[in-house]
């Protein structure tokens, strides 16, 4: 099974704002719902909404990421994953 969570894309952003020098810590991850690198293949062949719910739950609760970037080409997959992410906070 292909890796669904690109751990190599795990990022930590540190941003400072204005004179107050406050720091906002963002921990984000890129989640792939299906990209076509060649016409014959897709990075995620079968889309299982239960697996998406599990993956995003792990991203939020185990990895403690507070940002997620969902990538893919199919609007239905993107919408479904975005709704799951929104529901899980």
| Cα distance between residue 82 and residue 52, in whole Å | 10
Query: In the predicted model, is pLDDT for residue 16 greater than 80?
Result: no
Q: What is the SS3 assignment for 51?
A: helix
Sequence length of the chain is 89
**pLDDT at 21 (0 to 100):** 55
How much is the mean pLDDT over the chain? 79
Query: In the predicted model, is pLDDT for residue 17 greater than 50?
Result: no
- State mean pLDDT over 43-68: 93
């Amino acid at each position: 099974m292909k890796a669904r969570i690109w751990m190599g894309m795990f990022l930590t952003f540190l941003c400072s704002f204005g004179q107050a020098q406050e720091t906002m810590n963002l921990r984000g991850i890129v989640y792939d719902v299906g990209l076509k690198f060649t016409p014959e293949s897709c990075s995620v062949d079968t889309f299982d909404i239960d697996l998406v719910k599990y993956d995003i739950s792990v991203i939020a609760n185990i990895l403690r990421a507070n940002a997620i970037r969902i990538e893919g080409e199919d609007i239905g997959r993107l919408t479904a994953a975005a709704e799951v992410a929104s529901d899980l906070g």
